[in-house]
Structure formats: C-alpha cells, structure tokens
Amino acid sequence: MVIKEDKMPDFYEVLKSRRSVRTYTAEPISEILLKELIELAVLAPNGINLQPWRFVVITQQTLLAELNANILQLLRQTEMPAAAKFESLQETLNRPDFNIFYGAPALILILGDRQVPTAMIDCQLAAENLFLAAQAKGLGSCYMGFLLMQREDPQIRQLLNLPAGYELMAAMVVGHPAAEAADKAERQPPQIDWLR
C-alpha cells in the first residue's frame, strides 16, 4: 500500500529500513506517484545547480521483457572478475528464469548530460533521493547495475531510445514489494580515521 504524506514514516526509520527489493507484485504505480518520486529526486545536491539530468520512465512490460532478454544475453557472454562474489553473480545470471527487473512495474532511468563534468555524481545523488522517497512512500526499489553495465551497447541504447548527448548514469526499478527483502545486507561498522 502506498503511504500518504500525512502518514509518512520518520526520516531515520526510512533510512534504516530501506533495502533493495528483488520481488514485486504486478500492481502498477500511478504516473502521478512516479512523477512525485522524480520531483523529490531532483532536490538532490548537484554541481552548481546545473541539473544535468533527464528521466525516462518505462512501464511497458513488453519493452522490459525485451531489454531483460537482450541484457541477459550480453551479460552471459561477459567475463566477470575472478572473485568468489562474482561467481555467485554469474550463477544468478545463468538461471533461466532470472529477470534483472524482478518483475517490477516500472523502470526509471536517470540520464546525464555528457558535457557536464559533475553529471555522473549528480545522477547518483538524485538516485539516492529517489530510493529514499520510494521507501517513505511504502514502495520497494532496486538499483539496476546489470542494465548500466550494458549502457553503451548500441542495441540497448536504441531500445532505450536514449537522446544524443546523454548517457545512462543511474537506473532503478520501483514497485510494490511482494515480500520483505530476503537479503538483510547487514553493514559492518564503518572504519573511521579521526584526524584530530
């Protein structure tokens, strides 16, 4: 259920409870809500307030299915770094039923102006705002690194209909969680060097 503004959870609760969600119901998200998430995303700090971003929202399930198939095909041919963590990633990618979008009803792309040197950072900051805004609204979200890995592939660029001069800099799915995040992704205590 989407949370209304007057019932918003406490900010610290939002920060502490956000987890990457990897299973979604098919329930769509209204365009009004998707737009609101983006309006909250652009409140992020950004270099000299140039706001070098634009957004693409994909809710067309046939396009998501086509993107998923193409990206999986490319990723399965890509050699992953030789570390144990990446081995399990390769296994996941090889699962015949794996869907990089986890069945979410919406994919949001954040495109950055290639000519603005801070654009890559600006877009990641906007992405984090969007994740937290989604959490505050009772929605789940997940960063789409697999998609980003293939962002320069001409076929993927064409499917995404990316305008010239813009690079895909961040991407996330959002939707109604079908289950609590299984992976608690506990954090280690941060290493802090105090220079006093």
**Residues 162-181 contacting ligand FMN, CB under 6 A:** 181
* CA pair distance 131, 111, nearest whole angstrom: 16
d(CA 22, CA 11): 23
Out of 117, 145, 163, 165, name the contact with ligand FMN by CB under 6 A: 145
Q: Which is nearer to ligand FMN, 42 or 98 (CB)?
A: 98
Among 38, 123, 144, 156, binds ligand FMN (CB under 6 A): 144
Give, for 135, the enclosing helix (H) or strand (E). helix 119-136
185 binds ligand FMN (CB under 6 A): yes
Read off the DSSP letter of residue 43. Answer: T
Nearer to ligand FMN, 31 or 87 (CB): 87
Closer of 33 and 89 to ligand FMN (Cβ): 89
Query: Is residue 55 a contact residue for ligand FMN (CB under 6 A)?
Result: no
Q: In this chain, which residue has its C-beta nearest to ligand FMN?
A: 145
C-alpha to C-alpha distances, 31 to 35, 36, 148, nearest whole angstrom: 6, 8, 24
Per-state percent for the chain, helix, strand, coil, to nearest 5: 40, 15, 45
Using CB under 6 A, pick the residue from 24, 146, 176, 177 that binds ligand FMN.
146
Residues 6+ apart with CB under 8 A from 37: 108, 130, 133, 134, 137, 139, 174
Q: What distance in Å separates the CA atoms of residue 76 and residue 133, rounded to the nearest whole number?
A: 33
51 binds ligand FMN (CB under 6 A): no
For the CB of residue 6, give the shortest distance to ligand FMN in the complex, in Å: 27
Q: Output the DSSP codes for 74-108.
A: HHHTSPPPSSHHHHHHHHHHH-TT--TTTT-SEEE
Phi and psi angles of residue 155, each rounded to the nearest 5 degrees, phi first: -65, -40
Q: Would you say 16 or 35 has its CB closer to ligand FMN?
A: 16
* Site string (6-45) toward ligand FMN, x via CB under 6 A: -------------xx-x-----------------------
98 binds ligand FMN (CB under 6 A): no
Positions touching ligand FMN (CB under 6 A) are 19-20, 22, 142-146, 181, 185
